[in-house]
Structure 1
Amino acid sequence: MAPLALAMMYIGGTEMVRKGRVTETKHITFNCKDIKALFEAIAEGERIKPFQVAKRTVFARYGISGTRKDRIFTAIVYKFFKVYGILDKIVIWALKQNTLDKLCEELRIALKLAAYLTQLDTIKDRRLIEAFKNCIKKHIAEKCGTEQLKLFETAFEKMITRYWKPSKEELMELKYKMPYLLIKLFSKLVKDDKEFEDLMAALNSSPPLGFRINTLKTKSVEEVVRELQSAGVRVWVSKRVPFVIRYIGGLDYSRQKLLKEGIIVPQDETSALAAILLDPQPSEVIVDLCAAPGGKTTHVAELSRNLATVIALEIYPDRMARLVELANKTSTYISIYPIITDARYASKILARIKAHKVLIDPPCTSTGALAKHPDARWRLTEEKLRELVELQRTLLEEAHKLLRVGGRLLYTTCSILVEENEDNIKWFLEKYPCYRIIPLRKPYEESPWLPGTMRAWPHKHNTTGFYYALLEKVDEC
């Protein structure tokens, strides 16, 4: 198929229009307040991660939460961030510039949103596009001045009347909604073309979400399931991880009593497995090096029945505040000792500590969770990957310094890249031969690159992609 024909499939093909949203928008009109809400949700979503939090806050502020416009705009915001990097290329084409660095911030965001609505949105609702153009012009004039407003008008006219023609690499980015760098990296993880297509489809499809049931507050999984079902949620019990339930569909967290009371905790099945593998016991000293927002930390405390000493390190105060809030909700604050600090210096800060167990869930590319964090894909560069690997290895070394002989180290990521997972553990074992791998083979799949470590795959297990390596320190080294 010719590149232009492919471009029409992914950019302007009317055959791709989904009837659902056409019906949704048929009798809706959009005013400047609506446009401002959509614009601010994207602007704040660029600054605040995850962007879903920013979106919910903005929509609540403008009074559209739970309305039909909420559903329409949520879909737009989600897909906007999914093709975030491609939008830059469309704006550069429309402006005939090599960079967006000199643009006023409001103009840059407005042009990217215009690029999405006119070029990539499968609906291309003319009323929404017209409302956007009329309402945003005043905002740009006020914030950026008349010269930059002229840039917007020229670029918008080009985008509304012509289609951007992508290169072959850009066509692949459009097809898979991924930067070409990730497409190349992911192609190395699979055995054939079919598995590659399955993996890419899974990474662009949201898996079921999950809740962990807090056993400090209830023992009845069935009771929780019944209450959620009565709220209209399609929910079922995980077959792989105990006391985890999975669900599909929208759920208003602000109105959910079980969440407010800490009886259930938002946590994916793959994430909830981590504390179980670590197997916390009463009287143990356990260090969580990258603790916030606290799902794993509070689970560790819960499984120890609040009888372990759980030291939680987090560098960002706002994220630590979320951990403390969750600890209070779940009644695990009794055994958690939060410390706001940089975990790269953990062994100095905790110089007198000899931990029984250390948990590392370090910053990573989040390549296993791209359906949940679609914007993460566009933040990755080769340099960024190298920086992350360096940080991950530094944290592994800090864990080694903290751990006593006989202690265990659990390393997990929500990345599916070998560079962040098996390669790191191989490097660590070569540098510190006093460790042995505690074999993990269930409930997911043994790693083909490092036997004894384990992977959860989006396309095989219908979960977030995840990696687990459990190590025991058998001697000093």
Structure 2
Amino acid sequence: MKKRVRRTRNAASPAAVRFQHGQHVLADILIKRIPADRALGNYFRRQNLDPALKSWVNDHVYGFLRAGIGIDILRKHNSTLKGLWATYLLSVGEVTEGFHSHQIDETLKPLLPTLTKSSLPAWLHERFAETYTDSKALEAACKRTPGVDVRVNTLKGITRDAALTQLKLQHYHAEATPYSPWGVRMPNSHGLQRVGLLHNGTLEVQDEGSQLVALLSGAVPGQTIIDFCAGAGGKTLAMGAMTEGKARMLALDVNERRLGNLRPRTHRAGLDNVQTVLLKNEQDPYLQRWNDKADIVLIDAPCSGTGTLRRNPDIKWHLGHEELDRLLTLQQQILESASRLVKPGGILIYATCSLLPEENQQQVEAFIETQGDFSLEPVTPRFKSAGLRLSFDKPWMQLQPHIHGCDGLFAAVLRKQG
């Protein structure tokens, strides 16, 4: 009697497995609207993927988001995600078994001419073109994978040159950033978690643009400094180092998780003078006790994040006019509330990580028009007095990734009449 042979289904090919993992993560990001870094982290915790597969999924998901293939199409046709994902993989030379180019043509044929027109949604592409004469270079820079910037914490008694030497001895490629006197740039984050100087607070991950915003404050010991939208506290820590830990510092935010992350960072950095305060909103009654008391109030306002598209490319897939309008209203409310905390003769710094003028200079100009006791103070003299070769032809700072090599940050300094 013949033995029956049990047939098993063929296992999916490695290419098909990679394709499916990437598609699942992209659905979390683009349909469920989970931020890319969180979506990837959650997915990797759920799935037992080997390191090589994790790396492939991470790199190609971010590659797809940066490329923006079919970004406007997907807004109208979520069903085309599989085809757009396959189109991207084919465009970078990856095999996508089970979904070949002729099938893509059938699925997306009417839409193909617009697939690679721009890496940005049409409205944002047009907005950049209206605002920047070199918008093509700007858009290209927003597609590139950025390096990683860290700030040397001078409270630890170390110079940038000494930190660079230590990193190079540990075989990390690192170089000084072109503008910030505390900045160190590395080409990527590979192996970063093994850098001992990060664990003991000698180095803090912080984009050079963010370091320059803190430097603009001119913070010195003895001042009262309020970081109004402190977030994870990068600028709080930088100003704390500038003041040698000898200033009265408040870090305020409405996000309990972010403030919670700041507390161990202040301890690691050697700062014991930072008070963190959770606000209910920008009108929290707690703020009244600080009216007219702060030498420096820094607002790192919630914004579109268009200046960080290099590292957060998923932003452009969700951002639209409705969300932008909401942010503009919130920025106005925060400006009005935070300005009350500045004492006569003190300064208010308004900053965003945006490249859009309506979130930046237009907000500042509208605020000055309605609040008669503040005036713009040009940023270039402040940089020159700090020994930096950085100048702007406008009173404010607008960093641009293709020119300055860092995130696209805006900052304006407003002096309150004494």
Equivalent-residue separation in structure 2 for 1:440 and 1:330 (angstroms)? 28
Flag the 1:305–1:90 CA change in 2: closer, same or farther, 3 A: closer
SS at match of 2:275: strand
- Contact 1:117-1:129 within 8 A present in 2 as well: no
2:413 is matched with 470
SS of alignment partner, residue 164 of structure 1: helix
The alignment status of 1:378 with 2:324, answered yes or no, reads no
Q: Within the alignment, does 1:396 sit opposite 2:335 as a pair? A: yes
State the match for 2:193 in structure 1.
Answer: 254
8 Å contact kept, 1:282–1:308: yes
Contact 1:233 1:248 in 2 (8 A): no
- Contact 2:68 2:118 survives alignment (8 Å): no
- Whether 1:166 aligns to 2:111 is yes
State the shift of 1:302 in Å: 2.0
2:222 maps to amino acid: S
Is residue 2:129 matched to residue 1:184? no
Name the SS for the 2:14 alignment partner: coil
- Report the alpha carbon displacement of residue 116 of structure 1 after superposing the two structures with TM: 3.4
Which residue, out of 280, 284, 299, partners 1:360?
A: 299
Identity %: 25
Distance of 2:267 and 2:39 partners within structure 1: 23
Whether the 8 Å CA contact 1:313–1:339 is kept in 2: the answer is yes
1:286-365 matches, cutoff 5 A: 286-332=225-271, 334-346=272-284, 348-353=285-290, 354-365=293-304
CA deviation map 1:166-208 (0-9, x unaligned): 277x45xx232100010111011223xxx22212111212343
Amino acid at match of 1:304: T
Q: SS of the residue aligned with 1:446? A: coil
1:228 to 145, 167, 176: 167
Q: Sort the Cα spacing of 1:90 and 1:364 in 2 relative to 1 into closer, same or farther, 3 A.
A: closer
The unaligned stretches of length 5 or more in structure 2 are 1-12, 384-388
Matches of 1:374 and 1:119 in 2, distance apart? 18
Task: Please tell me whether residue 29 in structure 1 is matched to residue 29 in structure 2.
Answer: no
The residue correspondences of 1:366-445 to structure 2 (distance < 5 A) are 366-441=305-380, 442=383, 443-445=389-391
TM-score, length of structure 1 as denominator length = 0.75
**Offset, 1:282:** 2.3
SS at match of 1:351: helix
Measured in 2, the distance between the counterparts of 1:207 and 1:90 equals 25
Residue ranges of structure 1 left out of the alignment (5+ in a row): 1-27, 94-99, 101-107, 134-155
1:205-264 C-alpha deviation (Å, 9 max, x unpaired): 234321001111132322321232244432111231111111213423332211111111
Deviations 1:116-167 (A, max 9, x none): 33222224644x544xx8xxxxxxxxxxxxxxxxxxxxxx995485443327
TM-score (norm 2): 0.84
- TM-aligned CA distance change 1:268 to 1:50, over 3 Å: farther
Q: Displacement of 1:329 after TM fit?
A: 2.2
Is 1:55 paired with 2:40?
Answer: yes
User: CA 1:182/1:445 → structure 2, altered by over 3 Å: closer, same or farther?
Assistant: farther
Higher helix residue share? 1
Confirm whether residue 272 of structure 1 aligns to residue 229 of structure 2: no
CA distance in 1, matches of 2:253, 2:410: 21
Q: Any conservation in 2 of the 1:368–1:465 contact (CA below 8 Å)?
A: yes
Q: Check conservation: 1:444, 1:455, Cα contact below 8 A.
A: no
Partner Cα distance (1:189, 1:238) in 2: 27
Higher relative contact order (CA 8 A, sep 6+): 2
Q: Distance in 2 between matches of 1:186 and 1:425?
A: 20
The code of the aligned residue for 1:79 comes to G
* Equivalent position of 1:115 in the other structure: 83
Aligned-pair CA distance for 1:409: 0.6
RMSD of aligned Cα (Å): 2.9
Shift of the alpha carbon at 1:58? 3.8
- What CA distance in whole angstroms lies between the structure 2 residues aligned with 1:129 and 1:316? 44
Aligned to 1:77: 61
Amino acid at match of 2:123: L
Mapped to 2, the partners of 1:35 and 1:185 lie a distance apart of: 34
Counterpart Cα distance in 2 of 1:247 and 1:208: 6
